[in-house]
């Protein structure tokens, strides 16, 4: 080997990088690029879908035979090892990719991040549990290519579509939600709850910074967040039965849905979480009064009864906020207990602030109702701000270093 000939070597940190000839680098990249440009990226959010991955990929491959595609799974670190399974297949097929998100949950945000990770001009979002009919994708692509269409929704409620074998309650709830969502949709859409749709990268780009990203309703979020009304087409499909694993849609999904509607309507004026927090606070007042009345009936002295009612109401508020307001950051196990303690400490101080402000205003001749309401408002904002930071703040270990 000649002295200056570049051979395979292990570089130390002191090695000087060779000057890159940008012209040949560009040429080389052009040579390496596939002959057909990427047409569609299939985005699949997953949580515990290991047993469905292989079959889904095989079916998509069959359905998209004449289309150039890639598939991006966005997996929230599923305990069943869904990510490993996807990466095992991806190791020998570079159309298959996986984003593993650690310490995060959420169907909508997973879809958004998957789309943002792709350079494709068109995305199709579908579930990873084989319930969405992949053979409809070419028809969706055709519909999208019709003049100016930006979004194609695979719909269960348009002629030719169906909901498959759903129980009555779920079918009913789905219809109610569909009606309600028309409030924020600005256009008639037969199935705004669909988790199966196709959108152009350009349309996504126009609204991605306004998306709520919370909960399940990614499609509704997209439609409601677009600055201009999107040009939409619909393609019918039949929702299939799930074969492996189980649905992650639980009874609280209706709450998520309500919060998304709130965000898209009153969210412009106040943070929706604060709205939820005050709703829970209102329920806490009712609990307080009920406990107080019961204790007074049982001849407990007023001060004692008031103190007990306060503690019970605080525990109730913490429990309900943890369940609903902070559903996405829910505390469990020992963190539930420490969370409760920090919540009670924060609200205790909030009560002091409340009484302090109200007394001050009252002393300076403010009407008693106004003084009381001002005290309550200050206390509520304080409680919200402090518990958001300390009770439901992200633990340090998960914070992204700045």
Residues in the chain: 402
Considering only residues 321 through 360, tell me which ones interact with ligand GDD, judged by CB under 6 A: none
Those residues with Cβ within 8 angstroms of residue 125's Cβ, 6 or more apart along the chain or in another chain:
43, 44, 45, 111, 114, 115, 195, 196, 197, 198, 199, 218, 219
Considering only residues 109 through 148, tell me which ones interact with ligand GDD, judged by CB under 6 A: 110, 127-129, 131
Q: CA-CA distance, 225 to 169, in Å (whole number)?
A: 29
Specify the residue, 193 or 262, whose C-beta has the smaller distance to ligand GDD: 193
- Name the 3-class secondary structure at 44: strand
Specify the residue, 75 or 129, whose C-beta has the smaller distance to Mn ion: 129
The answer to whether 131 contacts Mn ion (rule: CB under 5 A) is: yes
Largest CA distance in the chain: 101
Considering only residues 174 through 213, tell me which ones interact with ligand GDD, judged by CB under 6 A: 174, 193, 195
The answer to whether 105 contacts ligand GDD (rule: CB under 6 A) is: yes
Taking CB under 6 A as the criterion, the residue among 116, 201, 249, 377 binding ligand GDD is 249
Q: CA-CA distance, 257 to 251, in Å (whole number)?
A: 11
Site string for Mn ion, 87-126 (x = CB under 5 A): ----------------------------------------
**Closest residue to ligand GDD, based on beta-carbon distance:** 195
Taking CB under 6 A as the criterion, the residue among 69, 216, 237, 257 binding ligand GDD is 216
Specify the residue, 85 or 387, whose C-beta has the smaller distance to ligand GDD: 85
Q: Mark the segment that binds ligand GDD (CB under 6 A) among 70-78, 284-292, 327-335, 352-360.
A: 70-78
CB of 198 to ligand GDD, least distance (A): 14
Q: Which does 318 bind (CB under 5 to 8 A by kind): ligand GDD, Mn ion, none?
A: none
Those residues with Cβ within 8 angstroms of residue 176's Cβ, 6 or more apart along the chain or in another chain:
none
Of 48, 196, 186, 190, the C-alpha closest to 111 is 196
Specify the residue, 54 or 359, whose C-beta has the smaller distance to ligand GDD: 54
CB of 131 to ligand GDD, least distance (A): 5
Specify the residue, 177 or 280, whose C-beta has the smaller distance to ligand GDD: 177
Considering only residues 24 through 53, tell me which ones interact with ligand GDD, judged by CB under 6 A: 45-47, 49
Q: CA-CA distance, 187 to 171, in Å (whole number)?
A: 22
Specify the residue, 153 or 305, whose C-beta has the smaller distance to ligand GDD: 153
Q: Which does 45 bind (CB under 5 to 8 A by kind): ligand GDD, Mn ion, none?
A: ligand GDD
Of 34, 50, 46, 94, the C-alpha closest to 74 is 46
CA 350 from chain center: how many Å?
31
Q: Mark the segment that binds Mn ion (CB under 5 A) among 16-24, 131-139, 295-303, 339-347.
A: 131-139
CB of 239 to ligand GDD, least distance (A): 7
Which parts of this chain interact with ligand GDD (CB under 6 A)? 45-47, 49, 74-76, 105-107, 110, 127-129, 131, 174, 193, 195, 216, 247-249
Which parts of this chain interact with Mn ion (CB under 5 A)? 127, 129, 131
């Amino acid at each position: 080997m000649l002295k200056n000939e570049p051979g395979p070597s292990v570089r130390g940190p002191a090695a000087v990088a060779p000057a890159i000839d940008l012209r040949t680098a560009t040429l080389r990249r052009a040579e390496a690029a596939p002959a057909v440009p990427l047409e569609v990226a299939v985005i699949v959010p997953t949580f515990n879908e290991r047993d469905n991955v292989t079959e889904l990929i095989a079916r998509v491959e069959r359905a998209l035979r004449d289309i150039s595609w890639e598939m991006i799974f966005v997996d929230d670190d599923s305990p069943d090892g869904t990510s490993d399974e996807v990466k095992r297949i991806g190791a020998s097929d570079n159309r298959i990719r996986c984003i593993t998100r650690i310490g995060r949950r959420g169907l909508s945000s997973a879809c958004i991040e998957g789309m943002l990770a792709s350079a494709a001009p068109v995305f199709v979002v579908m579930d990873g549990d084989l319930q969405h009919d992949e053979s409809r994708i070419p028809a969706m692509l055709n519909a999208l290519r019709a003049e100016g269409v930006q979004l194609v929704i695979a719909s269960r409620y348009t002629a030719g579509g169906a909901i498959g074998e759903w129980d009555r309650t779920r079918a009913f709830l789905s219809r109610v939600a569909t009606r309600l969502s028309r409030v924020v949709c600005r256009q008639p859409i037969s199935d705004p709850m669909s988790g199966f749709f196709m959108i152009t990268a350009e349309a996504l780009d126009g609204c991605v910074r306004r998306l709520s990203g919370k909960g399940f309703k990614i499609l509704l979020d997209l439609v409601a967040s677009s600055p201009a009304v999107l040009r939409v087409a619909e393609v019918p499909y039949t929702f299939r039965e799930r074969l492996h694993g189980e649905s992650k849609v639980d009874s609280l999904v209706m709450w998520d849905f309500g919060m998304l509607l709130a965000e898209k309507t009153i969210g412009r004026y106040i943070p929706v979480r604060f709205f939820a927090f005050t709703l829970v606070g209102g329920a806490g007042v009712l609990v307080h009064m009920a406990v107080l009345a019961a204790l007074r009936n049982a001849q407990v002295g007023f001060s004692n009864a008031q103190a007990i009612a306060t503690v019970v109401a605080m525990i109730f508020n913490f429990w309900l906020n943890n369940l609903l307001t902070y559903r996405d950051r829910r505390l469990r196990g020992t963190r539930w207990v420490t969370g409760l303690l920090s919540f009670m400490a924060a609200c205790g101080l909030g009560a002091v602030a409340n009484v302090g402000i109200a007394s001050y205003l009252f002393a300076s001749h403010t009407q008693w109702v106004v003084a009381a309401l001002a005290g309550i408002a200050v206390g509520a904002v304080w409680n919200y701000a402090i518990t958001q930071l300390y009770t439901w703040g992200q633990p340090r270990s998960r914070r992204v270093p700045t």
